[in-house]
Amino acid sequence: MNNADTSATAPSNLSAAQAWLAQDPDPETRHELEDLIARADEPAAQAALADRFGTRLAFGTAGLRGELGAGTNRMNRVLVAQAAAGLAAYLADKGNLGEAPSVVIGYDGRRNSARFALDSAEIFAGAGLRAILLPRMLPTPVLAFAVRYFHASAGVMVTASHNPPNDNGYKVYLGGDDHGSQIVPPADGEIAAHIDRISAEGDITRLPRHLGYERAGDDVVDAYVAATAAVSPAPESAAEMRWVYTAMHGVGWETTARVVAAAGYPAPTVVSEQIDPDPAFPTVSFPNPEEPGAMDLALATAQKSDAEFVLANDPDADRLAVAIPDSRVDGGWRRLSGNEVGLLLGWRAARLAATARDNTSPTSSADVSLSCSLVSSPGLEVIADHYGLDFFATLTGFKWISRAPGMVYGFEEALGYLVNPETVRDKDGISAAVALLGLAAEARGRGTTLSGLLTEFEQTFGYFASDQISVRVDELSTIDTIMTVLRENQPDRFGTVKVKRVDDLLTGVDGLPSGNVLRFWLKGGSRLIVRPSGTEPKLKLYLDVRGSSASDAAERLAALSDGAREVLSAVS
């Protein structure tokens, strides 16, 4: 969203639209602009032009992401060409003399993903880079793996992950010392400066293009499958395991099926309506397994097939959702939270790391760490302490989690898990699925279930409960206003829960990079964090408590949630 004044900016927006039309190679967006230009004297067309040209999609640490359409504030072929040329210029500046930088490009099944990937490959090749296009639409984790596989200077994934159907995006990874992680400052700012320069020069038709890009073979996919299957080979107890899988209309199934077979697990019952890529996402209102209703078909399939659990990837398969039978809830199935899955996988990683450490060098624990975003459950730090491992809390996003020193496992509560950092330095919903299958099979071999593992976890580490409050806004300025009020008039309590200390990450805390985050430490060991969403027009509140029992934790969480809503209502 933007606050452009349509009356004041109408002439400049019209000129921008006409200049854009002269360089736009896409018939669909050209038609869109031609219609708006023809109606430029109408208020509705002026508002539409202001929305498309009154601002520009910002290139940042998540690259680009936005709605498809014509204009600087949309994802389209002009914007992608400028981004590709800007990244090429950045890599040329950073490259070694006599050695051409290289970029590997991947894409998912969304609208225009393949076209944006082809445009990028041609522009990279035209700039003198070695450009390698993955063989077909593939999951984001395969692209992250491919950056290291090809020893590439950078990688680009064309995806909008779990965003609405009419969105797309452009995610950038760096090779070399960054080991295939997503970009962080200052690289994002330097790339953005090159993009802005190219945009100011005006005409993408002048950008050199070349068809001399390479098309990768299946060897890169084969290598990813082998490495991911090795995360957790199936034990004998997996032989009769019954489970359900959905790809959420995304690109996860082909690769996941190969990995599951290579690891030796039985094939799942698939949600047939959602198993093939479909950019319209026809069976869900929002293609995010966190959203209410998104997993309804999967849960119905599980009920019919008497499954033991459900696994779901999001459309680009970098996230994983899990559901288990639970007679206490309506429908008899419960989706596990990202924190619940993250702590189970963290427990697994800590056991493996501690065993490996103790078998090699019992005195060296500082070289091994667990990591999670600061808004994720504090339970991971308890696990790390229990096993004598280091722990790092980072800003949100795997661009930060993946860079934690000695990290063997990282997660964030938004269904993202990094279980195999030597293979993929980003969240990976497929390797996480294999690790989860291993946990389920191990539990099965002991006569228990994933639900039983959760109970064992609580008995070992304590009772953690988490919740999230999201406030969607029409104008991003509303979020800035709320954050300013909370900073200037810091609440001393949330309901009956008193505030002990407030960390304002804009000023720098605990060595973390600056961020628009407020962290409230509360009496009784509770915690509340407030931050804007990085991908949607939302303000998010993250609530975490630890109780003496499951019921005590639930009561503490309910009280904190009520208090947080009261404060939010007072300041918004």
**Residue 295 structure tokens:** 């997993």
- Catalytic annotation, residues: 161
Nearest partner of 226 among 441, 409, 433, 423, judged by Cα:
423
Helix (H) or strand (E) holding 120: helix 113-126
Count the neighbouring beta carbons within 10 Å of the beta carbon of residue 22. 11
Q: How far apart, in Å, are the Cα atoms of 153 and each of 101, 187, 211, 484?
A: 6, 13, 20, 40
> Contact, 518 vs 531, CB < 8 A?
yes
Place of tokens 């994002």: 188
Q: Is 208 left (phi over 0), alpha (psi -120 to 50) or beta?
A: beta
**Residue 420 structure tokens:** 């195999």
Place of tokens 């702590």: 343
> Contact, 212 vs 220, CB < 8 A?
no
> DSSP character for 204?
G
**Residue 53 structure tokens:** 């040209």
What gap in Å lies between CA 473 and CA 460, rounded to an integer? Answer: 41
Angle at 228 between CA 115 and CA 168, to 5 degrees: 25
